[in-house]
């Protein structure tokens, strides 16, 4: 059930190298490349999709995008410089409405809407908080996405709790769920519970080191710590334990390369 997508090889990789993981479906294999924090690259038969590309470390090895999906308006989700760097001429960009003050040429999808674009079906799933407090993610402002690509259904949750719209998802092959988001939202237990409800074949936790994202912009930042005083690595171990007995394959990818 458990595997680390890079594991031993990544431990001895050159700084800045990226490593594709493989997910096999009925139509062939899709390459899944974790980039940084919540940035993911998908590739199938020469077509490349980028989800929330973030240019903090220059996106080494990332390929030009035929389609881009943006979940939210925060800089590590919507990075105008990353989009400009990766976007092929004429490549469509699907986004939530809250990013239109930064990009005025995207295809805006509201929660619950779907579109067929660049030969790919994209469904916008609501992404929001249940537990109140700052930083807040109100209902209706941000998107997760279900992407049908290479004969597989990928779910990229963005930043959300396991809200009703997420619980209703079915037939997901690969899910990317956030963990350790602020104020104890999406703890390892909550992520595991959510994963069991939507029952993907493969689960990637992502967006799980919030201090890293802050330190990327403020090197001296010291955060308040995680609930129960756990380290990030301990939360990953706890997630693994919470999923014991399920049929879900947990993949831990290298989302946090060393900061310059």
- The residues with which 4 forms a beta bridge, in sequence order, are 252
Query: Which residue did the predictor score with more confidence, 161 or 26?
Result: 161
| Number of structural domains the chain divides into | 1
pLDDT digits (tens, 9 = 90+) for 132-142: 988 899 999 99
Residue given tokens 């400009």 in the structure block: 84
Q: Is residue 131 part of a domain?
A: yes
Q: Is residue 259 part of a domain?
A: no
What average pLDDT does range 9-33 have in this prediction? 72
pLDDT digits (tens, 9 = 90+) for 191-226: 999 999 999 999 999 999 999 999 999 999 998 999
Query: Which residue did the predictor score with more confidence, 185 or 12?
Result: 185
Write out the DSSP string of 119-147: TEEEEEEEE--SS--SSP--TTSEEEEEE
User: In which domain, by residue range, is 163 found?
Assistant: 2-13+20-252
Residue 39: the pLDDT is 98
Q: Is residue 260 part of a domain?
A: no
Residue 12: the pLDDT is 32
Q: State residue 183 phi and psi, 5-degree precision.
A: 65, 30
Residue 43 has pLDDT above 70, yes or no: yes
Q: Is residue 156 part of a domain?
A: yes
Residue 133: the pLDDT is 87
pTM of the predicted model over 0.85 = yes
What average pLDDT does range 27-49 have in this prediction? 96
Q: Is residue 108 part of a domain?
A: yes
pLDDT digits (tens, 9 = 90+) for 48-98: 999 999 999 999 999 999 999 999 999 999 999 999 999 999 999 999 999
Q: Is residue 33 part of a domain?
A: yes
For residue 185, the domain's CATH number is 3.60.15.10
CA max distance for the chain: 48
Within 10 angstroms of residue 211's Cβ, the number of other Cβ atoms is 15
Q: Where do runs of H (alpha helix) occur along 109-187?
A: 164-167
Q: What are the strands, taking DSSP E only, across 150-207?
A: 152-156, 174-178, 202-206
Residue 111: the pLDDT is 98
Average pLDDT taken over every residue of the chain: 93
What pLDDT band is residue 3 in, cutting at 50, 70 and 90? low
Q: Is residue 24 part of a domain?
A: yes
Residue 14 has pLDDT above 60, yes or no: no
pLDDT digits (tens, 9 = 90+) for 106-147: 999 999 999 999 999 999 999 999 999 888 999 999 999 999
Q: Is residue 95 part of a domain?
A: yes
């Amino acid at each position: 059930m458990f595997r680390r997508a890079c594991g031993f090889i990544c431990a001895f990789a050159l700084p800045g190298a990226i490593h594709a993981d493989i997910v096999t479906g009925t139509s062939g294999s899709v390459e899944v490349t974790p980039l940084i924090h919540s940035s993911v690259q998908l590739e199938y038969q020469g077509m490349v999709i980028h989800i929330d590309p973030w240019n903090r470390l220059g996106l080494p090895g990332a390929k030009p995008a035929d389609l881009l999906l943006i979940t939210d308006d925060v800089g590590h989700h919507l990075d105008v410089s990353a989009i400009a760097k990766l976007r092929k001429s004429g490549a469509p960009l699907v986004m939530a409405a809250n990013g239109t003050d930064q990009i005025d040429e995207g295809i805006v999808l509201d929660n619950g809407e779907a579109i067929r674009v660049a030969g790919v079906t994209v469904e916008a799933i609501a992404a929001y908080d249940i537990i109140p407090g700052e930083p807040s993610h109100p209902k209706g402002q941000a998107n997760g996405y279900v992407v049908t690509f290479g004969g597989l259904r990928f779910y990229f949750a963005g930043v959300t709790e396991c809200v009703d719209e997420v619980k209703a998802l079915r037939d997901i092959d690969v899910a990317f769920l956030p963990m350790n988001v602020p104020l104890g939202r999406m703890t390892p237990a909550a992520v595991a519970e959510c994963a069991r409800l939507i029952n993907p074949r493969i689960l990637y936790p992502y967006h799980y080191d919030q201090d890293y994202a802050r330190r990327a912009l403020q090197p001296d930042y010291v955060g308040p710590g995680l609930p129960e005083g756990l380290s990030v690595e301990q939360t990953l171990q706890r997630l693994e334990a919470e999923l014991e007995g399920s049929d879900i394959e947990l993949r831990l990818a290298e989302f946090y390369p060393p900061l310059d």
